[in-house]
Structure 1
Amino acid sequence: MLQSSEIERRFSSIQQAIGQASQTLQADSAPSQLKDCIQKLDRESSKAQQVIQSHDENRIRQCVDELESMGDEAKRVCRSQAAVTPRVTEAIMKVHDELSDLKHQLH
């Protein structure tokens, strides 16, 4: 398992990526289904912050697994929508990749 400080640092980076994706979605008029995915990720990542601060390894893994599944959904929606700009795709992929990488390092 990663050190607590490394998990917190990585999670902070993930939250920033989610925030940037949200801003990009607003600026580029992305499909509402994709906006919903990112809004859900944003809400859940705020809740996850408390779990990460608890330092409970099992809860952290479970929480990151759930967030990564949401990232998978955002990626799927992004790829299925024709009206998605390259900037939006890049923002979504950054969120997904960071979540996926953290998940793999926790397992």
Structure 2
Amino acid sequence: MGEQEIRSRLSSIQLAVGQAAQALSAERNLPGELRDYIQKLDRQTDRITDILALRDRARIVKLISDMELLGARARRVCGSGLPLSGQMKSAVNHMHNELIDFKQHLH
């Protein structure tokens, strides 16, 4: 995977996490666990630019693996039957799918 494709995919991930964070702010009665996962993911996206500047593939792989784990946890909470909006569930699913897809292409 070339540097330009990595940048493009990371940009898509940043956008997907941003959409989940926006859905988070619009959601009422959100479980603290889900809020925490999405906030952590949002903070992780802030590190993407710094890691890209280092051009360290191992750090990119580690960051994406860590983010995918948080995304999986967020997705599990969304699928637990809690009364969440369709927008929230969709944003979390999209975000997690982006992370899984990128992680698979990195390995």
The separation in 2 between residues aligned to 1:17 and 1:103, in whole angstroms, is 15
Q: Which position in structure 2 is the counterpart of 1:77?
A: 77
Kept after mapping to 1: 8 A contact 2:27/2:88: yes
Q: Which runs of 5+ in 1 are unaligned?
A: none
The separation in 1 between residues aligned to 2:79 and 2:16, in whole angstroms, is 18
Kept after mapping to 1: 8 A contact 2:10/2:48: no
Kept after mapping to 2: 8 A contact 1:31/1:81: no
Q: Which position in structure 1 is the counterpart of 2:22?
A: 23
After superposition, the CA RMSD in angstroms is 1.3
Counterpart of 1:92, as a letter, is: V
Give the SS at the match of 1:80.
Answer: coil
List 4+ stretches of structure 1 deviating above 6 A: none
* Superposed counterparts of 1:4-43, under 5 Å: 4-29=3-28, 30-43=30-43
Paired residue total = 106
Q: Which runs of 5+ in 2 are unaligned?
A: none
Give the SS at the match of 2:99.
Answer: helix
**By how many angstroms is 1:31 displaced?**
2.5
The separation in 2 between residues aligned to 1:49 and 1:101, in whole angstroms, is 20
The separation in 1 between residues aligned to 2:31 and 2:85, in whole angstroms, is 10
